[in-house]
Amino acid sequence: MLIRSPNEIPASQITAESVYCKRRELLRGLGIAGLGLSGLGQPALADSAQTLSDIKRPSPYDTDEALTTFDDVTTYNNYYEFGTGKSDPAKYAVNFQPKPWTLQVSGQVENSGSFDLDDFIAPHQLEERIYRMRCVEAWSMVIPWVGIPLAKVIEACKPTSNAKYVAFIGLHDRQRMPGQRFAVLDWPYREGLRMDEAMHPLSMLVVGVYGRVLPNQNGAPLRLIVPWKYGFKGIKGIAGIHFSENQPATSWNLSAPNEYGFYANVNPNVDHPRWSQASERRLSGNGFGRLFAGRIDTHPFNGYAEQVAHLYSDLDLAKHF
Ligand SMILES: Nc1nc2c(c(=O)[nH]1)N[C@H]1C(S)=C(S)[C@@H](COP(=O)(O)O)O[C@H]1N2
Ligand SMILES: [Mo]
């Protein structure tokens, strides 16, 4: 790591002491010694295509279903900031620079402020989770994500007792995200979870896939993964985390409230107004190009009912979709 002497650092980059103290507290909460990450002998998190080492695996939450190929995971994407076609993100996000990356923590939380992503997630904390993923468009994949349980990050942020929800705000930058020049959604992309959903051990903040740093088209440098919900909850390119007392607005619910609810739990019994959600097409590339296997049944909570159904015992899931 290059250590610059204080007189080489512009005043704008010098951290005020109050912020610095909070930062130290946050790092302690995350179990990070406060070293620059490069001091850990690891590549920085956003070095595209870099292999991540020391990933904790396997996880008791892993599915043993066949993995979707790396090629399919990285070329068949939804990421409207880079176009609405499935192959657009791989094409138009190539030159996106996800490093350095600042994360804004705000709202009902003790450790609010701006943080460098590298202070949030250190390479030695990373875990792999092989999750089933189900898009609301009725296709699905099995993906080995690499990240950190969202609960760990939330605990380090120290939400106040008023924090009932956590919202995630995508990067808003028309220069770097050409799709934001089109009003297909009300930018920036927004998502949110109830606090108990966010604290559930299945919820992850993801920085990698297939043992490598997350490709831009999959949401580098930081995205959310909530495997019992439809894919759109898994916001990519997270620039802000906001804790609130009231349920936050979410992009797809804002854009089509009759089609997409706040919860978006995978539910074969509640059809999308324009198509059935009872089954799905599993993307299982075989190395000879993309292959959609035949239709398979969609399971309640995407097969994670045993782990998460209790979170919704009070809700009418046909009404709160
Ligand atoms: N910022 C942002 N995040 C997003 C989206 C998006 O358009 N913008 N699309 C969502 C949808 S609809 C899906 S299915 C998943 C796809 O993730 P993947 O391409 O990594 O499989 O990302 C979600 N996250
Ligand atoms: Mo999706």
Q: Tens digits of per-residue pLDDT, 12-23?
A: 444 554 555 566
Domain ranges for the chain: 16-312
Is the CB of residue 135 below 6 angstroms from any atom belonging to ligand 1? yes
Amino acid identity of residue 27, one-letter, is L
| pLDDT for the residue 9 | 43
In this structure, are residues 92 and 104 in contact, taking their beta carbons and an 8 Å threshold?
A: no
Q: pTM for the full model?
A: 0.89
Q: Tens digits of per-residue pLDDT, 93-144?
A: 999 999 999 999 999 999 999 999 998 888 889 999 999 999 999 999 999 9
Q: Tens digits of per-residue pLDDT, 234-291?
A: 999 999 999 999 999 999 999 999 999 999 999 999 999 999 999 999 997 665 556 7
Q: From 69, 78, 272, give the residue whose CB has the most ligand 1 atoms within 8 Å, as the site to mutate.
A: 78
Beta bridge partners of 192: 167
Burial class (CB in 10 A: 0-12, 13-18, 19+), 281: middle
As a CATH number, domain 16-312 is 3.90.420.10
Contacts of residue 309, defined as CB under 8 A and 6 or more positions apart, other chains included, come to 300, 301
pLDDT of 35 strictly over 80: no
Share of the chain above pLDDT 90, in %: 78
| pLDDT for the residue 119 | 85
In this structure, are residues 243 and 108 in contact, taking their beta carbons and an 8 Å threshold?
A: yes
Contacts of residue 300, defined as CB under 8 A and 6 or more positions apart, other chains included, come to 265, 266, 267, 268, 269, 309
Q: Whose CA is nearest to atom 8 of ligand 1?
A: 79
Using alpha carbons only, what angle is made at residue 248 by residues 242 and 249, rounded to the nearest 5 degrees? Answer: 120
CA of 204 to the centre of ligand 1 (A): 15
